[in-house]
Structure 1
């Protein structure tokens, strides 16, 4: 077996190893939504009860993701990453063999155990393998699946359910996971810490808080009863505060509080959370609008949003040069404003207009989303010290998971609220979507203020020359 120190090829392959994990998780999280009615019919369950298949995965990831940094430090990035891929693949196989809802939920928990470790540990290996001035270029290609997964998911799911069976939406993960495992055996560096102490109390407090906050988001997007939602949210916030008090006294806290003394990390966390409120809701709201307001099929809605993936990949060849030329502060502020304006623009075409008026807006949004994700992912870890890399990377992953959940829930809540404002929308579904996009777009633009707190020279250590050397 080749050593990871054989290095030139390792650096070329390593981003693709992380990409396999991102692609599986992002595809799996969206492809299931299209297939729930077919699975419900086959398992003789009500569609509304099938939501547990989604919730069980999300909550497992939220609970276990905080421990990813410690496991990688203790047992090594290669061993933990391969185990995570194997768990995800076994969970996928079990999902395809489920005979009832209980078996499907248990299989999704197994999937979630793998999913909670794959991306944080893979990204940690990437951070440690590449010098700061090469990391931007590496992560730029590794996160492409994060952009195309939510777009391809509904499209692939629709075709598989119509022409094959729902079982294939899980079986498709097996060859991808196998490829990731083989590549990891040869090319994934096996980094580990010389000293790794586990903060068990901190994990219980923070993990349970993440679990309850995620549960409140799921309740928020699927229930109109406010009492259990608010109670779950308040308990989650109380546990988060309890973790803060614990971390102030703990020398080896799960997530040390001095992480937030690093300005770029603090702004990256807060800005990513704020911006994803709008960005994360769009891949859900656009297909819904095309199907419900324009009365088109699920396959048509899937093809309509596909250009977002193509332009996202196109921008990958430009984002490094853009950041090198203009700097993180200017790019993130301007790019966030552009994304907010594009989201607002989905409200412009009327109900009688052709749906194809949305295509250029969708394509542009994919282009600028790609720049946004690369910029946010890299500035968050730009100035972390080596002893903070594992915990900081894990916290960034937890923050992203919660932010995506918040975004989806927020988009659904705004849409439901607009549908109830008949004095404003006149019981018109399309009008409800138009106002929803306006609200989400305006809030996205407001989040640009967070990135304006960056300094002009922040991210300088990530800059590269066209040849990849330090600029």
Structure 2
């Protein structure tokens, strides 16, 4: 195996671990809520705390790799992740579980931008579509198998073993990194701690506001929290524009292909994560399905996405990103809308059709975004763009789950539980179509490469 494919394998292994950590824990959320006696709105902090840890460490990972070496950082990343996974499985209270998940995010987040920057720099621009296909294949395999395996674990044992499941993979990745990573990582400026604080506050407060709304006795506090979080975000954007060493280089978002790809991740993987979280509770509580049966729907999603990704790799250069984006967004939204037709006493056949369609649309959209986002960057700019891309990917997952939980809570408050589910799915489908409004400018702009 050549050196570049060894590095790609290490990055793909870390990406695989991150994916199974998200999707396997999602199928366990109903069991965690039951065993630890927390609400469905609050239990999403099992995922949110992990995302917060990632948010803190992803922007500083390139600096850490340049300062201490890529090999040392990747090995440390997987060892910290492994220790936190062990303690998450042993946690006796919900608060301690969320704290260990936060530490797990801190550990796992160091590998992803460092590994991606190392791997992408080793592939020529005309070869990056091939690497993107490998990345998206992993992004399919993990969501396909992890919910089924996680569901079987929950049904036969408990959610604790779901937390322990990534351990063999993270330890193996640490070993491979120690043996294979040789080349140095480009040095970067010392991280901006004030910027890191503002970004972290923005995400934490927005997620607290969204997830806390459902169970709050008075809605004033979560709304105020949400407002303060949004103000922190605006404050960071103003702050970052005035600095050349900003933690997150928001100037890179002026590139239309990067900007639109970031938005698509909220409309497709982000929304799907929220839909999948709600579906786990919906199918297990309302339909009476087992966790394993619920997780098996992801096999259909993965089958549709795999076919779409293989096709995208062949037609991307011929059709162009804009057409593929439009097709992916339309199919994915149509799949979400089909969920509204399902009912435990009839129309269950809509469920496999919905997941298959979401898979096809999600595969087209996410693969196109993965290929398109970093096309205009090379060298040091690529490392900075990789930070933005990976941070946005993680935030999209968490934001999607929190937003859809909020939407469901509001629809349930003003209607019956039986109508809240389909209405939430319809609203989600409509939200997934919004990026189409910004797609036309992408087809008309030609932009230079950033070096």
- TM-score bracket, normalised by the shorter chain, equals 0.7 to 0.9
2:131 aligned to 119, 122, 138, which one?
A: 138
Change (3 A) 1:295 1:318: same
1:432 is aligned to 2:439: no
Cα distance in structure 1, aligned partners of 2:67 and 2:363: 33
Change (3 A) 1:378 1:405: same
Change (3 A) 1:359 1:345: same
Q: Which residue of 1 aligns with 2:5?
A: 12
Deviation of 1:214 after TM superposition, in Å, equals 3.3
Q: Which residue of 2 aligns with 1:441?
A: 429
Query: Could you list the per-position Cα deviations for residues 73-112 of structure 1 after superposition, in whole angstroms to 9, with x for gaps in the alignment?
Result: 3333332222111110111122233355554344323212
5+ residue gaps in structure 1? Answer: 1-7, 462-471
- Aligned 8 A contact 1:308 1:367 in 2: yes
Change (3 A) 1:366 1:297: same
Cα distance in structure 2, aligned partners of 1:124 and 1:249: 26
2:255 aligned to 257, 262, 273, which one?
A: 262
2:288 aligned to 255, 270, 295, which one?
A: 295
Cα distance in structure 1, aligned partners of 2:330 and 2:70: 37
Cα distance in structure 1, aligned partners of 2:32 and 2:273: 25
Cα distance in structure 1, aligned partners of 2:141 and 2:275: 13
Q: Which residue of 2 aligns with 1:30?
A: 23
Cα distance in structure 1, aligned partners of 2:101 and 2:224: 26
1:450 is aligned to 2:438: yes
The secondary structure found in structure 2 opposite 1:167 is helix
Change (3 A) 1:446 1:162: closer
- Aligned 8 A contact 1:18 1:123 in 2: yes
Query: Could you list the per-position Cα deviations for residues 374-413 of structure 1 after superposition, in whole angstroms to 9, with x for gaps in the alignment?
Result: 1112212111242322222112222222222221122222
The secondary structure found in structure 2 opposite 1:143 is helix
Cα distance in structure 2, aligned partners of 1:225 and 1:401: 30
Q: Which residue of 2 aligns with 1:467?
A: none
Moved more, 273-282 or 301-310: 273-282
- Aligned 8 A contact 2:268 2:332 in 1: no
Query: Could you list the per-position Cα deviations for residues 209-250 of structure 1 after superposition, in whole angstroms to 9, with x for gaps in the alignment?
Result: 233333334334665743222222222222223323322332
1:192 is aligned to 2:185: yes
Deviation of 1:371 after TM superposition, in Å, equals 1.9
The secondary structure found in structure 1 opposite 2:349 is helix
Query: Could you list the per-position Cα deviations for residues 292-347 of structure 1 after superposition, in whole angstroms to 9, with x for gaps in the alignment?
Result: 44333333222233211233233332221121220111111222122212222222
The secondary structure found in structure 2 opposite 1:355 is coil
Give 1 or 2 for the bigger CA radius of gyration: 1
Query: Could you list the per-position Cα deviations for residues 108-146 of structure 1 after superposition, in whole angstroms to 9, with x for gaps in the alignment?
Result: 232121122232222222222212111121122123343
TM-score by length of 1: 0.84
Q: Which residue of 2 aligns with 1:218?
A: 211
1:397 is aligned to 2:385: no
Q: Which residue of 2 aligns with 1:57?
A: 50
Change (3 A) 1:190 1:277: same
Cα distance in structure 2, aligned partners of 1:308 and 1:319: 16
- Aligned 8 A contact 2:24 2:162 in 1: yes
Cα distance in structure 1, aligned partners of 2:377 and 2:423: 40
Q: Which residue of 2 aligns with 1:87?
A: 80
- Aligned 8 A contact 1:151 1:308 in 2: yes
1:361 aligned to 354, 359, 364, which one?
A: 354
- Aligned 8 A contact 2:24 2:150 in 1: yes
Q: Which residue of 2 aligns with 1:314?
A: 307
Cα distance in structure 2, aligned partners of 1:63 and 1:401: 11
TM-score by length of 2: 0.88
1:245 aligned to 220, 223, 238, which one?
A: 238
1:47 aligned to 15, 38, 48, which one?
A: 38
